[in-house]
Amino acid sequence: MPAVLNYEPLVLSPRSEAPRLTPIQEEIIALKRERNAVILAHNYQIEAIQQVADYVGDSLGLSYQAQSAQADVILFCGVHFMAETAKIVNPGRTVLLPDLEAGCSLSDSCPADRLAAYKAANPNVYVVAYINCSAGVKALSDVICTSGNAVKMVNQIPADREILFVPDQNLGQWVSQKTGRQMRLWPGSCYAHVMFTVQAVEKVRAQFPGAPVVAHPECVQAVRDIADEVCSTELMVKFAKETPANEIIVVTESGMLHRLRKEVPHKTFIAGPTDTCACNDCRFMKMNTIEKVRDAFKTMSPQIDVPEPIRSAALIPIQRMLDWSKR
């Protein structure tokens, strides 16, 4: 067991005022107007990006925002599969991603050709795909889910269908426990969320007795089991507002703390730790920098495009998710 754990916790305390915008942030806001653009940002983006975004949220909220966006340009501050989803649901817009290399280990763990081979060998499986997957995988799936609606999606699948859940085995296992539904799990995982450990979380909990632990379902079961609440990043905001506690330990990517501090400014948030670090960044999410956001507007690149046959096939299970979410 790597027993490092010799760091101080990362704590975001209440702040009376948000920081003033920097010249580069002002420049981005002017460019956004010039390009008739909207900036959609995931909760894991750096604070400077969250501050210039029109909407900050989880994968589900971002999908709705992308679909209803009226602006000519969607500048998507997140990772590749999220920008791709925006293009699938709203193909008439130009979709920009500040860094094309911003991928996702979870998405990479399920290549479309391997899923196609699995389906050929198991033609009757009902494929539930976590939104953290490529357009090619979505095109092969029956319904998409996010961490915010996965339980609701699985509960609506006919009981006589055998489910294959891709690509996150940890989220899939959690959904299976919540729904009582047996599922085949694709052996993928998020490299960042599996780094949280019980011993690291318990160490920080000992320093903040009484602080509830809220964890993302991509964490391993041992960590989920010691959490007071397991939920999507958006539901973490709701949890933080509703819990009577004033200090909360947040076991997910560290960008989430900025969103929480903005929405619940009077509370203190402590980053979920790993064995070697007081907090945990997703290296893909953090490839987007404020300079790259500005440059994306200036050059109108990199743009996301999805070949039409894949886009229209991928739209079907995404639309099913958006419709089922409203039920």
The closest alpha carbon to 73, from 311, 318, 303, belongs to 303
Do residues 270 and 204 touch, judged by C-beta distance below 8 A?
A: yes
Beginning with the edge strand found earlier in the chain, give each strand of the sheet holding 183-185 in spatial order.
143-145, 126-130, 163-166, 183-185
Q: Could you give the CA distance from residue 146 to residue 211 in angstroms, rounded to a whole number?
A: 27
The H or E element containing residue 145 is strand 143-145
Among 51, 63, 107, 146, binds ligand 13P (CB under 6 A): 146
The DSSP bridge pattern shows strands 268-271 and 11-12 to be antiparallel
**Which CB, 125 or 201, lies closer to ligand 13P?**
201
Nearest approach in angstroms of CB 285 to ligand 13P is: 8
Among 84, 99, 234, 253, binds ligand SF4 (CB under 6 A): 253
User: In this structure, which amino acid lies at residue 18?
Assistant: A
Could you identify the residue written with the tokens 């085949």? 184
**Which CB, 24 or 112, lies closer to ligand SF4?**
112
Stretch 213-272 residues interacting with ligand 13P (CB under 6 A): 216, 218, 232-233
**Which CB, 32 or 148, lies closer to ligand SF4?**
148
284 binds, among ligand SF4, ligand 13P, none (CB under 5 to 8 A by kind): ligand SF4
Stretch 55-84 residues interacting with ligand 13P (CB under 6 A): 58-59
105 binds, among ligand SF4, ligand 13P, none (CB under 5 to 8 A by kind): ligand SF4
Q: Is 180 left (phi over 0), alpha (psi -120 to 50) or beta?
A: left
**Which CB, 228 or 281, lies closer to ligand 13P?**
281
Burial-class residue 130 by CB neighbours within 10 Å (0-12, 13-18, 19+): buried
Stretch 115-134 residues interacting with ligand 13P (CB under 6 A): 132
**Which CB, 56 or 163, lies closer to ligand 13P?**
56
The H or E element containing residue 203 is helix 198-207
Residues forming the site for ligand SF4 (CB under 6 A): 79, 104-106, 132, 190-193, 218, 253, 282, 284-285
Residues forming the site for ligand 13P (CB under 6 A): 43, 58-59, 132, 146-148, 190, 216, 218, 232-233
